[in-house]
Structure 1
Amino acid sequence: MTLRVLPRRRVYRRRMTLTWWVKNPRYVNYILREASSAFLTVFAVLYIVQFALLAAGAGPYGRYLAFIKSPAWVALNVIILIFALIHTVSWMFLATAATPVRIGAHEAPSWALTISGLVIWLAISVGVGYVILRG
């Protein structure tokens, strides 16, 4: 019995640049939404660390409070806030597209659900901000 060696097939591989996704706005939105989750994960971890330092006592938490006043820390939090806004708004648009709401025999328009969700989110944010800033 003789083994026959088959010739290798040539596979076509389309060349793509690293920025291929920038040409389509839908891909840009997708990439930004997915990247935003990494920034929100960083925020969640930092928040947990803050609670651990608070539980550790006044000394470690005092040093942490001094550290978070640095310009780099503030810049990081501004970047995280921007990505949190991108994440929230993009998921508001996705949620209404994925879960249609029926009222009787009619389906509510997704744009109305999106706008109402954004208005409710904004109202809650303003309310929480008012309570925090009022002290």
Structure 2
Amino acid sequence: MSLLDAAREVRERAYVPYSKFKVGAAIRGASGQVYRGCNVENVAYPEGTCAEAGAIAAMVAAGETELVEVAVIADSPSPVPPCGGCRQKLAEFGRGAVPVTLATTDGGIFETTIEALLPGSFDIGHMART
């Protein structure tokens, strides 16, 4: 199963009673293992969890801390990029050149990288004292 297929499959499990906007994400850890996440809403909308954050949490819970590939899919007219918070989360666990595939359920594809999604990202180097 491809990474995009894994994202497509988990998207169907999204819990979205308020927005009705299902998003699925799948990431590949450095080990090759695939981790999945879907968006989960709650009544205190919009205080839910993004699909990308769920996939990262699954990876970390499994003991990995490096991702090497990302796929995100939603039913949208054009590929939906991760929100700002998820871009920072992806940058925390993946290098700038990590490929990111953004897709629609109708077959639209946009290929990018973590660095292109979040240029000039905040990282540990900003916290170093000189």
Q: Give the structure with the larger helix fraction.
A: 1
Fold shared, TM-score > 0.5 on shorter chain: no
Q: TM (normalized to structure 1)? A: 0.26
